[in-house]
Amino acid sequence: MPDISALAIFCAVTLGLLLVPGPAVLYIVTRSVSQGRAAGLISVLGVHAGSLVHVAAAALGISALLAASATAFTVVKYVGVAYLIWLGLRKLIRREEAEEAIELRVQSKRRLFWEGFVVNVLNPKTAIFFLAFLPQFTNPAAGPVGPQILVLGLLWMALGMSTDGTYAMLASALAGRVRRSARIRRRLDVGSGVVYLGLAAWLTAEKT
């Protein structure tokens, strides 16, 4: 286990990183504004379930293989890009009636969770981040590094769920007054589509 001072520094640095809105926060805020607080919070759970995959991969050394393989990195990256493009285009072309029908289905909550999960799992930058960031706070003299990375990753997820959950609740509170307007709902759909496509562009532009 990392010592208390290392954990304190880790928490401080992690909070600083998490409070700066990134692609995951943009995804969560978009969901919260367009579909409400519950959708935002479910998206938070999905995103951080995806984070758990990356934490486990880092602990087992799988992320090291991904970092060393340009081909694997590129494949995963562009699968994620394709999925984000699909989400964005679906939002842009969806009609108002179709949107309302989907929101009434209980299954839509599952879809929100799995979309958040897939968006995060298919982002290789998250895997590389955990691989590069978490080992900095481990101490080989304190025991095997893998379990230490797992503990740090779980702590990162707990902090991330707190900050992302706050973003989701704030975003949904600001959206409450405008949800009755069909015109504004359509603009939110367009905004959601633009965000998804923007995330795809961001991933494409990042250097591998």
The domain limits of the chain are 4-12+22-205
pLDDT of 144 > 80? The answer is no
Token pair recorded at residue 91 = 């939002």
Rg (the chain; Cα; Å): 18
pLDDT confidence tier of residue 208, bands split at 50, 70 and 90:
very low
Sign of the C-alpha dihedral, residues 178, 180, 186, 188? positive
Instruction: Check residues 205 and 118 and name the one with the higher pLDDT.
Output: 118
198, two tokens: 């923007």
pLDDT at 154: 92
Which amino acid is it at 53? V
- Retrieve residue 132's tokens: 């590069």
Instruction: Give the span between the Cα atoms of 32 and 116, in whole angstroms.
Output: 12
Contact between 10 and 152 under an 8 Å Cβ cutoff? The reply is yes
Mean pLDDT, residues 109-137 taken together: 81
Tell me whether residue 141 is exposed, middle or buried, using C-beta atoms within 10 angstroms of its C-beta: 0 to 12, 13 to 18, 19 or more.
Answer: exposed
Sign of the Cα pseudo-torsion (135, 136, 137, 138, in order): positive
Least confident of 59-68, 102-111, 158-167, 173-182: 102-111
**What is the structure's pLDDT at 149?**
86
Predicted confidence (pLDDT) at residue 37 exceeds the cutoff of 60: yes
Per-residue pLDDT for 184 more than 60? no
The one-letter amino acid at 29: V
Closest among 205, 60, 203, 30 to 123, alpha carbons compared: 203
Give this prediction's pTM: 0.68
d(CA 109, CA 115): 10
User: What's the confidence (pLDDT) of residue 46?
Assistant: 93
What's the token pair of residue 97?
């009636």
In the chain, the amino acid numbered 43 is S
Calpha distance 137→91 (Å, rounded): 41
The mean per-residue pLDDT over the stretch 130-134 comes to 77
51 vs 154: CA distance, rounded Å: 9
Residues 178-189, mean pLDDT to the nearest whole number: 57
Closest alpha carbon to 128 in 16, 207, 30, 49: 207
pLDDT band, very low/low/confident/very high, at 107 (cuts 50, 70, 90): very low
**C-alpha separations of 89 from 12, 123, 157 in Å:** 38, 19, 30
Tokens (6 digits) for 76: 């995963």
- Residue 79 pLDDT level (bands cut at 50, 70, 90): confident
